[in-house]
Amino acid sequence: MKFYITILLFLAMLSGLTAQPKLNITKQVELIEKQYEGMLKVCKDTSLFPQSLLPDGTVKQMKSAWWCSGFFSGNLWYIYELTHQRKWKEAAEKWTLPLQKEQYNTSTHDLGFMLYCSFGNGYRLTKNEMYKPILITGARSLSTRFHPKTGLIKSWDGFKGYKYPVIIDNMMNLEYLFWAAKATGDSSFYHICVSHADQTIKNHFREDNSSYHVICYDSLGNVLAKKTAQGYADQSAWARGQAWGLYGFTVMYRETKDPKYLDQAMHIADFYINHPQMPKDKIPYWDFNAPDIPDAPRDASAAAVAASGLLELSRYVTSGKKEAYFSFAAEVLQSLSGPGYFISDPSKCFLLLHSTGNKPANSEVDVPIIYADYYYLEALLRYSRIIHHKKVIPTDN
């Protein structure tokens, strides 16, 4: 009898997930293809990677050392995964290879974005053995920024006079090191991830489960200051920072199965989805404490990151939370796929409007940004697999 009750509860829970209004994924993918066909017509020099739109409507492009350089080829890999069309695989390969020199870059913590989104997705989908040593070398380069006395990966080499700043964004690069641990059998990569995540839980979060953007340490790991770089104020909740943390600690639970990371991900998720300043369309203002709400710019990139993270997190929690996280993410995707956010004009190349990069610096405010597209595509893939009762994006690369 208990067995049948368990089955009925499972079916009821599954029904709750799939009863949401479903996106027409096929139609949306057709629109996505048109946009990126437009992008490929405009962007031909593979030494420069699309980043955003400039005020005159031209595509802002950056060199491979820029932290966002890996997202464009990552997007092409995701479109290939959505369509299974060879032309997208060929485009992804073309735009992935020029990034290989960044495997030796030890001056940045962003190699996860640069190499794992590009070569990592390429290796996952094709098992091209050429990609594997590049990924491993890049992971070793990233590891040079970890220092045992602090227990953290240094984000920047300096910030406002502090020599060891660590930003919440850095949680996103741990997935890359977990891959490297499995690919090489070198457990040092794994231990770096655990140490960094534990120190982040200890120092990055406030009592309400919101996070600081930047924690400044000394060389022994003592906290010297708690600051922001891209948020409204040191004590404010910068929207994309909350999304980075949610996503990063969900990955930590997936890779370690340690319940403290699941708890942390849930704490962040609950702060995010229940915030009183969250708009009805579920696309957050760039900072939850921006003084000009409701006229503050939105951040579609934060929405996309959070949606992707919530969809994965919904796999690991029990009924109630599962439905809440899935439903919120589904509403986000409905909004992002609608006319208020989705561009549907190939001359504008990108997928999503209304992202905010760095508002305090007046940089990339209320514009399309390449990483918003990346996490939107990833969220679409995860959403599609859930509603079709299939495995979410493969993770055991």
Residues 6+ apart with CB under 8 A from 362: none
Q: Is residue 266 part of a domain?
A: yes
Q: What are phi and psi of 233, to 5 degrees?
A: -155, 165
What DSSP state is assigned to residue 311? H
Residue 376 belongs to some domain of the structure: yes
d(CA 69, CA 59): 14
Mean pLDDT, residues 339-346 taken together: 96
**Could you list the active site residues?**
110, 169
The structure's pTM equals: 0.93
For residue 68, name the pLDDT band (cuts at 50, 70, 90): very high
Side-chain-facing half-sphere of 137: CA atoms under 13 Å: 13
If one counts the domains in the chain, the total is 1
Residue 173 has a pLDDT of: 97
B/e letters for 281-301, b = 16+ CB within 10 Å, e = fewer, are bbbbbbbbbbeeeeebbbbbb
| pLDDT tier for residue 86 given thresholds of 50, 70 and 90 | very high
The burial class, CB within 10 Å (0-12 / 13-18 / 19+), for 345 is exposed
Distance CA 100, CA 119 (A): 8
pLDDT of residue 334 exceeding 90, the answer is yes
**Is-contact 157 92, C-beta < 8 A?**
no
What pLDDT does 3 receive? Answer: 40
Q: What is the mean pLDDT of residues 125-151?
A: 98
Q: Which two tokens stand for residue 4?
A: 């049948």
Asked whether residue 330 is domain-assigned, the answer is yes
DSSP letters for 352-382 = B--EEEETTTTEEEEE-BHHHHHHHHHHHHH
Residue 242: both structure tokens together:
């909350």
Q: Which range is least confidently modeled, 194-198, 206-210, 318-322?
A: 318-322
Using the predicted structure, report yes or no on whether residue 397 has a pLDDT greater than 80.
no
Residues facing residue 204 across a β-bridge? none
Cα 130 vs. chain centroid, distance in angstroms?
Answer: 25
Cα distance between residue 73 and residue 66, in whole Å: 14
Indicate whether 20 belongs to any domain: no
Where does the pLDDT of residue 22 fall: very low under 50, low under 70, confident under 90, or very high at 90 and above? confident
Higher-pLDDT residue of 103, 397: 103
pLDDT at 179: 98
Whether the pLDDT of residue 25 is over 60: the answer is: yes
Phi first, then psi: give them for residue 146, nearest 5 degrees: -90, 135
AA letter at 159 = F
Closest-CA residue to 380 (of 307, 287, 296, 293): 307
In a domain, 18, yes or no: no
Contact partners, residue 110, CB within 8 Å, separation at least 6? 67, 169, 173
- 293-to-106, 268, 284 alpha-carbon distances in Å: 39, 22, 10
CB 76 within 8 A of CB 36: yes
Q: What is the pLDDT of residue 134?
A: 98
* pLDDT in the model for residue 21: 61
102 inside domain: yes
Quick one: average pLDDT of 340-359? 97
CATH number at residue 195: 1.50.10.10
Q: What is the reported pLDDT for 319?
A: 87
pLDDT of residue 390: 53
Task: For residue 63, give both structure tokens.
Answer: 């060199």
Q: Which helix or strand (DSSP H or E) is residue 38 part of?
A: helix 25-42
Residue 27 included in any domain: no
Average pLDDT over residues 176-203: 98
Average of per-residue pLDDT across 374-391: 90
Q: How far is CA 215 from the centre of its chain?
A: 20
Distance CA 246, CA 306 (A): 7
Give me the pLDDT at residue 147, please: 97
pLDDT at residue 2 in the model: 44
- Give 9's pLDDT tier (boundaries 50, 70, 90): very low
- The model's pLDDT over 237-296, given as tens digits with 9 standing for 90+, comes to 999 999 999 999 999 999 999 999 999 999 999 999 999 999 999 999 999 999 999 999
Report the first-to-last Cα separation within the chain, whole angstroms: 40
- With respect to residue 126, please indicate whether it lies within any of the assigned structural domains: yes
Q: Please tell me the predicted confidence (pLDDT) of residue 23.
A: 87
Predicted pLDDT at 252:
99
248: exposed, middle or buried (Cβ count in 10 Å: 0-12, 13-18, 19+): buried
Between CA 348 and CA 38 the distance in angstroms is: 8
| Amino acid (one-letter) located at 376 | Y
Quick one: average pLDDT of 372-385? 98
Report the percentage of the chain scoring pLDDT > 70: 93
- What's the whole-number average pLDDT of the chain? 94
Domain housing 68: 32-387
- Count how many Cα atoms sit within 13 Å of the Cα of residue 84 in the half-sphere of its side chain: 1
